[in-house]
Amino acid sequence: MPATKDALKRYKILDQMLSDKSVQYTYDTLLNGLNQRLEEEGSLGISSRTLKYDLDFIETEFCNSVTLLRTPIAAHSSKSDSDKYTMKWIHYEDPHSSIFTVPMTEDEKYILTQSLSLLGHFEGIPNLKGLERLRSQIKELPQDENPIVVMESSCIENTQYFGELFSAITKQRPIELHHHTFQEPDVPIISIVHPYQLREYNNRWFLMGCVEENGKVAQVPWPFRLDSIDQVIILTQHPYRKYSGLLFEFFEEIIGVTNYQDKPCQTILFWVSDNSKGYVTTKSIHSSFKLIKSDEQYREKYPQLEGGIFCTIDCKVNYELIRELSSFGNDLVVLEPKDIQEMIINRAQSICDIYQRITQQQ
């Protein structure tokens, strides 16, 4: 039987009635009670045949959740109190069972336990007390010292502000953000920010929001490190401006969280050595990653590069991009465009200069 909207409504009512041990529902009283509840909720009653189908459906489809019993009970004929006959009380064997509470398998319990263990990073955060109660309940389950699945996690810096920022985003409230920069940690900065998202990148958390200056709200979100925040003030009386675009599109053309609108998206051609090609092809640097299969023209153009593969990504230049491309050392060589290649060369040269100065002093 298809689970239509009306059918789901009936199953919910039947589930409540069948688990109620204070009333011994027979087939007729179950039908009458169900129809009465349906009429109270503005729905049409059902026939005896439909009730039979519903009970059969509950028995067959939810046999792992509930056991439906038909217990004989004595009843009296309306003609004579001494004329007894047998009727059946239809009910769940366990009054605490429900078709809407499907028991978890051992594998599901384990996965839930491991997943909720990640919530430890949210411990002590204001405004998320319900999350802590959930964690405290899951602690009662046995813990595995050597879990099967392990995910690298990132700690949340300034957890006292995480809940406030979460609440501000949820309630769509601007904030007065007191923060500082890496370069000048002792110089306070105050910004009016319209917050949109809390985002993790490279084991660091960021608040993505648009800054308001002189009554004008910027069109482009800017990342604020959570560990650079000194104070958050919710502006309850200040009008909030929603982000006009889609945040996932904001990150499509970049690596990391910094998107400079005045920078063009460029196709970056690079070579990867045989030593690192397996890593790069299975864990792409960017979602636009493409492997150039017909690379004869590049083999002829760059004969100095032996073996390896040629690849492209479409990205805007930012600090995160240069750092990512540089992190492979001589296993990744940027070929085009020249401006990005020059940035990589300058970074590598700067590293060499520092090491040369150090070794000359030794």
DSSP string, 210-261: EEEETTEE-SS-EEEEGGGEEEEEE-TTS-----SS-HHHHTTT-SSS---T
Site of tokens 């009727």: 87
> DSSP letter at 155?
P
> DSSP letter at 104?
P
CA-to-CA distance for 75 and 86, rounded, in angstroms?
A: 6
* Whether 149 contacts 110, CB under 8 Å: no
* Whether 243 contacts 174, CB under 8 Å: no
How confident is the model at residue 2, as a pLDDT?
Answer: 45
How confident is the model at residue 136, as a pLDDT?
Answer: 61
* Whether 242 contacts 259, CB under 8 Å: no
pTM of the predicted protein model: 0.63
CA-to-CA distance for 102 and 64, rounded, in angstroms?
A: 8
CA-to-CA distance for 307 and 38, rounded, in angstroms?
A: 73
Among 56, 92, 70, CA closest to 26: 70
CA distances from 188 to 52, 64, 229, 230 (A): 72, 61, 10, 8
3-state secondary structure of 136: helix
Taking only the tens of pLDDT, the chain with its 362 residues reads: 445 668 888 999 999 999 998 899 999 999 999 999 999 988 888 999 999 999 999 888 887 788 888 888 866 555 555 555 568 899 998 888 888 876 666 676 666 666 666 555 555 455 556 655 655 655 555 555 666 666 565 566 666 788 889 889 989 999 999 999 988 988 999 999 999 999 988 888 899 999 999 989 998 899 999 989 999 999 999 999 999 888 888 899 999 999 998 899 999 999 999 999 999 999 989 999 999 999 999 999 999 999 999 999 999 999 999 999 999 999 999 999 999 999 999 999 999 999 999 988 77
* Whether 250 contacts 274, CB under 8 Å: no
Find out whether the peptide bond into 2 is cis, omega within 30 degrees of 0: no
What is the rounded end-to-end Cα distance, in angstroms, of the chain? 83
Instruction: Report phi then psi at 190, rounded to 5.
Output: -120, 125
How confident is the model at residue 175, as a pLDDT?
Answer: 95
Among 198, 160, 21, CA closest to 96: 21
